[in-house]
Every structure is written in C-alpha cells, then in structure tokens.
Amino acid sequence: MRVSSPIGELPFEPTALRVRGGRVEVEGVMGAWPAHVVVEPADLPSLLRLVRRPAIAAAAALSLAALALRFRHGR
C-alpha cells in the first residue's frame, strides 16, 4: 500500500489487524514512522457510500449471471 502525503508517497506496511471495542484497528509502518488507523462505527456511513455503487453493480451482475445459468440449464 502507498500513502500520499505532503512529503511524498510513502509505503504503508500493515503489521496487525484487530477488532477492539467495535472498532477495526490497523497497525503498521509508514515509511520510517509507526502508523495506527482506527475505523469506528461512526465511519461506516462514509465507507458504505464509497462501496455502494460498486456493490450494487456486482449484485446486479451476479443476479444476471445466476438467471442466465438457470435458464441455460432449464432448457
């Protein structure tokens, strides 16, 4: 992973992933510095907005594929 910042692009190397107290925590190293990312329940609406359209498109594609397979095997 890479993180863009005012000082340039830095590699981010995750070292731990935990769920604590209803939060997702990612620990890692960004360049030479330790980094800690916390995703809390209050962040979910904004994250869901990011994935909503791709998720809808994927669900529609899977539904169409399932229908096509059903009709193909039904004949």
Q: Is residue 30 located within the same domain as residue 16?
A: yes
Let me know whether 71 and 47 are in one domain. yes
pTM equals: 0.56
- Are residues 49 and 71 both part of a single domain? yes
10 and 31 in contact (C-beta within 8 Å)? yes
- Per residue in 24-75, pLDDT (tens digit) is 999 999 888 899 999 898 888 888 788 777 778 788 888 888 887 877 766 5
Separation of alpha carbons 16 and 72, rounded Å? 46
**Domain housing 73:** 41-75
Q: Are residues 47 and 15 located together in one domain of the fold?
A: no
Give 34's contacts (C-beta < 8 A, 6+ positions apart).
27, 28
Structural domain total, the chain: 2
Residues 22 and 51 in one domain: no
In this structure, the answer to whether residues 1 and 35 fall within a common structural domain is: yes
Ranges of beta strands (E only) in 1-73 are 2-5, 8-20, 23-30, 33-39
